[in-house]
Amino acid sequence: MLDDAQVSAYRRDGFIHLPQVISRADAARYAKAALAAQETVRDNREGDIFVQLLQLWQHDETLRELTLHPGLAALATRLAGVPLRLWHDQLLIKKPHNGAATEFHQDQPYWPHAGSRHALSAWIALVDVPVERGCMTFVPGSQDLQDLRAQDLTDGQDLFRIAPELRWRQRVTVPLKAGDCTFHNSYLAHCATPNFTDDPRIAHVVIYMDAEAVFAAEPAHVLTDPLGLTPGLPLPDEHFPSFAR
Ligand SMILES: O=C(O)CCC(=O)C(=O)O
């Protein structure tokens, strides 16, 4: 459970670090499933930043358990303060010595949602993720910037071109042990270091959105484009399960 001080800190800073949301043993079990999923699930991303596998909850029984975990959804709901549904999950695997940072960006501008009161991601470390293996860095408070265009996460200067004041803000880098998690607001500026180690960095990310937000025709998105959704209507539970009680 989260106390009021933790919820207030999340709402002020836009992120929170929660140690051991799952045990190390469970993290190891999910890491094994993640590595196996690389053989069966198509990589959605070109380039060196990370391998991106989407919708594990639809492809893998073991990872489905993590994505749809009611305890994790309850933490997200308490932080968000609104009923949530799953937007999507993703495994983000930085290969050993991948040589590329995930550059500063916000998440929300990539997504075709309108009327969202809150969206957030649970970034769960399935292996130890020290700074050298590609942990996340956040700009606390940057979630207040909600009118920026989408930023290029391959370009380290892109966010600062459109929000130059962010360059001078304090950054917080959060190494995670296997089983630890961070939650971050969908508007929070964040990045991740390259993987300088001999082992893969494996993160499972569960993205929650406002259950009542509606589909917007733009921007295009790989998950909604094939579904023929109607702009202005909530996303269908069948593809985006609701955690609302
Ligand atoms: O894990 C990474 O490299 C970046 C993750 C990220 O940007 C996110 O989860 O929103």
**pLDDT tens track for 34-81:** 999 999 999 999 899 999 999 999 999 999 999 999 999 999 999 999
98 lines ligand 1 (CB under 6 A): no
Structure tokens at 196: 């300088």
pLDDT digits (tens, 9 = 90+) for 160-208: 999 999 999 999 999 999 999 999 999 999 999 999 999 999 999 999 9
Closest CA to 2 of 64, 113, 76, 54: 76
Given this model, what pLDDT does residue 42 score? 95
Residue 221 — pLDDT band, cuts 50, 70, 90?
A: very high
Q: 193 CB less than 6 Å from ligand 1?
A: no
Residue 121 beta carbon below 6 angstroms from any ligand 1 atom: yes
Is-contact 144 223, C-beta < 8 A? no
Give dist(CA 89, CA 56) in Å, integer. 7
- Contact 203 CB / ligand 1 (< 6 Å): yes
> Ligand 1: does its nearest atom lie under 6 Å from the Cβ of 73?
no
Distance between CA 174 and CA 18 in Å, rounded? 11
How much distance in Å is there from the Cα of 192 to the middle of ligand 1? 7
Distance in Å, CA 50 to ligand 1 centroid = 9
Statement: the pTM of the whole predicted model exceeds 0.85: yes
Dihedral pair phi/psi, residue 182, rounded to 5°: -115, 145
The answer to whether 30 and 62 have CB atoms below 8 angstroms apart is yes
Quote the CA–CA distance of 126 and 111 in Å, as a whole number. 25
Instruction: List the domains of the chain with CATH numbers.
Output: 9-214 (2.60.120.620)
Q: How confident is the model at residue 233 (pLDDT cuts 50, 70, 90)?
A: very high
Q: Which of 67, 93, 186, 190 should be mutated for ligand 1, with most atoms under 8 A from CB?
A: 190
**C-beta separation of 120 from 79 below 8 A:** yes
| Predicted pLDDT at 154 | 97
Give the tens place of pLDDT for each residue, 76-111.
999 999 999 999 999 999 999 999 999 999 999 999
Whether the CB of 102 sits within 6 Å of ligand 1: yes
Ligand 1 pocket mutation, candidates 90, 92, 120, 187, criterion most atoms within 8 A of CB = 92
